Chains A and B, each alone.
Chain A
Amino acid sequence: MSSEKTKVSDVADDLKQIYGINKNISNSLSKEQKKELLMLLENNETILNLTRSFVTKNHELAKNNRKFGKQRETAKRNLADEQGKNSELNNQVSQLKYELKELKHQLINVLDSFHEMLTRDVLKRSEIILFVEKLRDSFKP
């Protein structure tokens, strides 16, 4: 049994070493089919050329798979980076939005108080001028 297994394994090894047919491909063949394939490859040039063509193509596909795999991993990392940046930017924009809202709120408070002082007639002319100047200066670039 063990010797039989070794023999089958030898055929699969030959297929791999001589013709480049990977074991995960030759495994789909029965013991007899492996032997038959080996014989065909030794004696039939068309089968040999076709097999070589498959093996070459298989190598190309494997190479492409590795390349695309790497590209996909890079794209995934870039996407994660972008999503992180996007989320951070959204948070900072939200913060600015709140700050702007609060600035407007404080400005309205100041104007309301000024209006209230004007209506109570408690401000001197010089104070009104000072207020307007200071308010204008506050928003000067």
Chain B
Amino acid sequence: MKINQLKQEVYRLTFTKNTQQLKSNRAELTTGKDLRCKNSWLSIYSTFKLVDDFQQSLVAQDAIAKHGFKLLNSDSSFADLLNNVGSLGSFCDSLESDINLLEKKYGEK
């Protein structure tokens, strides 16, 4: 990946728009790094990806535990399939409720 692509990926993943904002919002990723070098960006990207993948796996485990998803494969029954459809609804409701809470907390007053 070229340095500019790496930068764009880092901005996207960290919800930042530019290097200045990245330095200010995510100092833990940039401290001590020379941001003129591609290797620094590669290191930031790799670190972030590692953390991101780990958090993603935690969310997946949490969703399975909270909403009761079952692992589906070619031996799964129709009842298992319907169970997961129900879990989708519960997951979706929970997501909507989290968004509403966030909007209430940080929305315009």
Q: Contacts A95-B59, A113-B76: A135 and B95 contacting too (C-beta < 8 A)?
A: no
A99 to B99, CA, bound (A): 11
Per a CB cutoff under 8 Å, which of A105, A106, A131 touches B82?
A131
Tell whether B1 is near chain A: CB-to-CB under 8 Å: no
Q: Is the CB of B60 within 8 A of A102?
A: yes
Give the distance to chain A from B20, nearest Cβ to Cβ, in Å: 15
State how many residues of chain A have any CB contact under 8 Å with chain B: 36
Per a CB cutoff under 8 Å, which of B59, B74, B87 touches A99?
B59
A81 to B55, CA, bound (A): 26
Q: Is the CB of A105 within 8 A of B89?
A: no
Give the distance to chain B from A112, nearest Cβ to Cβ, in Å: 8
Q: Contacts A90-B25, A113-B72: A85 and B106 contacting too (C-beta < 8 A)?
A: yes
Per a CB cutoff under 8 Å, which of B15, B55, B88, B102 touches A110?
B88
Q: Which A residues are in CB contact (< 8 Å) with B15?
A: 90, 93-94
The A-B contact count (CB < 8 A) is 89
A86 to B76, CA, bound (A): 44
Q: Is the CB of A138 within 8 A of B81?
A: no
Tell whether B91 is near chain A: CB-to-CB under 8 Å: yes
Tell whether A134 is near chain B: CB-to-CB under 8 Å: yes
Q: Is the CB of B60 within 8 A of A131?
A: no
Q: Which B residues are in CB contact (< 8 Å) with A131?
A: 78, 81-82, 85
Q: Is the CB of A134 within 8 A of B92?
A: no
B residues 18-76 near A (Cβ < 8 Å) are 25, 55-56, 59-60, 63, 69, 72-74, 76
B-side residues, CB < 8 A to A, are 15, 25, 55-56, 59-60, 63, 69, 72-74, 76, 78, 81-82, 84-89, 91-92, 94-95, 98-99, 102, 106
